[in-house]
Amino acid sequence: MMKKGNILIKNAAELVTCSGFKGKKGKSMSDLHIISNGAVVIEEGVIKAVGKTEELLKQYKEEDYKVIDASNKAVLPGFVDSHTHFVFGGYRAEEFSWRLRGDSYMSIMERGGGILSSVRATAEASKEELLKSAIKRLDSMLSFGVTTVEGKSGYGLDYETEIKQLEVMKEADNHHPVDVVSTFMGAHAVLKDYKGREGAFIDFLIEKVMPEVTERKLAEFCDVFCEKNVFSIEDSRKLLTKAKEMGFKVKLHADEIVQLGGAELAAELGAVSADHLLQASDQGIKEMEKAGVVATLLPGTAFSLKEDFARARYMIDNNCAVALATDLNPGSCFTESIPLIFALATLYMGMTTEEAVTALTINGAAAVDKADKIGSIDIGKKGDIIILEFPSYKYIPYHIGVSTVEKVVKNGILVYNR
């Protein structure tokens, strides 16, 4: 486990607290609760005080802390990347070239590429190889200001490799500053042996794999690729209903390629989040809002696949809680770039900078059911903080595609400084 420290950050041009203990919906996503000339006190890794610098320095002695002077810099909560597949073997650069010439993602999957290509490579990789590459990716995420990341299995589809992926995530969580929230996603694709027998594959996961995952506490969430030619609404409902009975919290890859009713199913099941949602119906969005399901949008994937973006503006205007995430994976979106996500969200999805900040902080935390612990600069939360090289959060999308993060504090310890 990572150590916890004592830090005092003072003189922030903007202390962007994103204050709150649950996901923010609709118009409230624009309220960042900014304190000018702000300061934060962190003790034993936990935020102790937040306020104006002159006020906090009357109460706390600088000599008792490691002091960071954030003069002319913006200070924000650490980013939460709430949807990734960062543990995998192999790469699919050739498939990217196929897509550039016009081949569809689904057609590539049908001829043995896509997810099944990564399944083969991940099965062949040793646990040590997977951990080494996972740590390298976490290092990169940290440099972009990510302090918590969700990671999914799903490049196994069998007992051994699914468990191996989750074991790697657990070990990475224990040895890296970035916190890892693990999700079991054995239902990511259908093995050839089960083609046309998807229900039998769901039974296999429920009976053979998920009991081991729960017994060893290898994952907090269960996810499913609810999509045409992958897993139907009925199969997805069966899997996630059983997952809830076994103690998992649930998520869905929903309505990415066709309008299947995944958003409606997420609402029906009380999922923590429904992700992708490029084709989500008006009714599905309405039901998600009513059920309190976070809409996690992945603009990097739509961008990479040259698809229309999810309707972020419509969702926010209809009072949804919207989160943003990278969807880092070896196929449809090989990037962990938070600056790219900010640029796409603000330039092409109709989101304001304030909404994008909320989507990657407190709403990202809500998408992994941890808004009471991370995602904002509030007393009692983890001391996860980023310091920008510029005086305002508005520079994040303005400096297009380039990270503005200068320092990262995790649990009250300075873990990144460029």
CATH for 413:
2.30.40.10
The response to whether 331 counts as a known ligand-binding position is yes
pLDDT of residue 2: 57
Whether residues 251 and 192 fall in one domain? yes
Whether residues 72 and 89 fall in one domain? no
- Residues 182/223, Cβ–Cβ less than 8 Å: no
Whether residues 67 and 106 fall in one domain? no
pLDDT of residue 103: 86
Counting beta carbons within 10 angstroms of the beta carbon of residue 215, is it exposed (0 to 12), middle (13 to 18) or buried (19 or more)?
exposed
Query: Position 151: which residue type?
Result: G
pLDDT of residue 195: 86
Whether residues 54 and 92 fall in one domain? no
Whether residues 162 and 222 fall in one domain? yes
The response to whether 329 counts as a known ligand-binding position is yes
The response to whether 337 counts as a known ligand-binding position is no
The response to whether 412 counts as a known ligand-binding position is no
Number of domain units in the chain = 2
The response to whether 33 counts as a known ligand-binding position is no
Counting beta carbons within 10 angstroms of the beta carbon of residue 193, is it exposed (0 to 12), middle (13 to 18) or buried (19 or more)?
exposed
Tell me how far apart the alpha carbons of residues 129 and 177 are, in angstroms, rounded to a whole number: 19
Q: Is residue 234 part of a domain?
A: yes
Q: Is residue 152 part of a domain?
A: yes
Tell me how far apart the alpha carbons of residues 231 and 276 are, in angstroms, rounded to a whole number: 15
- Residues 115/145, Cβ–Cβ less than 8 Å: no
- CA-nearest of 202, 312, 170, 185 to 251 is 185
- Residues 147/78, Cβ–Cβ less than 8 Å: yes
Whether residues 56 and 192 fall in one domain? no
Diameter of the chain measured on Cα atoms: 69
Q: Is residue 47 part of a domain?
A: yes
The response to whether 380 counts as a known ligand-binding position is no
Q: What is the CA radius of gyration of the chain?
A: 21
Whether residues 413 and 352 fall in one domain? no
* Sign of the dihedral defined by the CA atoms of residues 388, 392, 393, 398, in that order: negative
Whether residues 227 and 326 fall in one domain? yes
Counting beta carbons within 10 angstroms of the beta carbon of residue 95, is it exposed (0 to 12), middle (13 to 18) or buried (19 or more)?
buried
Q: Per the structure block, which two tokens stand in for 354? A: 């304030």
Query: Got the DSSP string for 348-410?
Result: HS---HHHHHHHTTHHHHHHTT-TTTSSS--TTSB--EEEESSSSTTHHHHSTTS--EEEEEE
Q: Per the structure block, which two tokens stand in for 360? A: 């990657």
Neighbours of 259 (CB within 10 A): 15
- CATH of residue 227's domain is 3.20.20.140
Range of the structural domain that residue 398 is part of? 7-77+376-417
3-state class of 86 per DSSP? Answer: coil
Q: Is residue 163 part of a domain?
A: yes
3-state class of 91 per DSSP? Answer: coil
Whether residues 101 and 46 fall in one domain? no
Tell me how far apart the alpha carbons of residues 378 and 40 are, in angstroms, rounded to a whole number: 9
* Sign of the dihedral defined by the CA atoms of residues 7, 10, 15, 20, in that order: positive
pLDDT of residue 129: 98
The response to whether 188 counts as a known ligand-binding position is yes
pLDDT of residue 115: 83
Q: Is residue 2 part of a domain?
A: no
The response to whether 399 counts as a known ligand-binding position is no
pLDDT of residue 151: 98
The response to whether 92 counts as a known ligand-binding position is yes
Q: Is residue 273 part of a domain?
A: yes
pTM for the full model? Answer: 0.97
The response to whether 155 counts as a known ligand-binding position is yes
Tell me how far apart the alpha carbons of residues 360 and 408 are, in angstroms, rounded to a whole number: 15
Query: Position 243: which residue type?
Result: A
Q: Is residue 1 part of a domain?
A: no
pLDDT of residue 252: 98
Whether residues 167 and 216 fall in one domain? yes
Whether residues 410 and 359 fall in one domain? no
Whether residues 399 and 290 fall in one domain? no
User: For each successive 10 residues of the chain (418 residues), what is the average pLDDT?
Assistant: 84 98 98 98 98 98 97 99 98 89 80 83 97 98 98 96 98 98 96 90 97 98 96 98 98 97 98 98 98 98 95 98 98 96 98 98 99 98 98 98 98 97
- 3-state percent breakdown (helix, strand, coil) of the chain, nearest 5: 40, 20, 40
Q: Of 345, 367, 389, which one is at a domain's C-terminal end? A: 367
Counting beta carbons within 10 angstroms of the beta carbon of residue 391, is it exposed (0 to 12), middle (13 to 18) or buried (19 or more)?
middle
Tell me how far apart the alpha carbons of residues 367 and 249 are, in angstroms, rounded to a whole number: 11
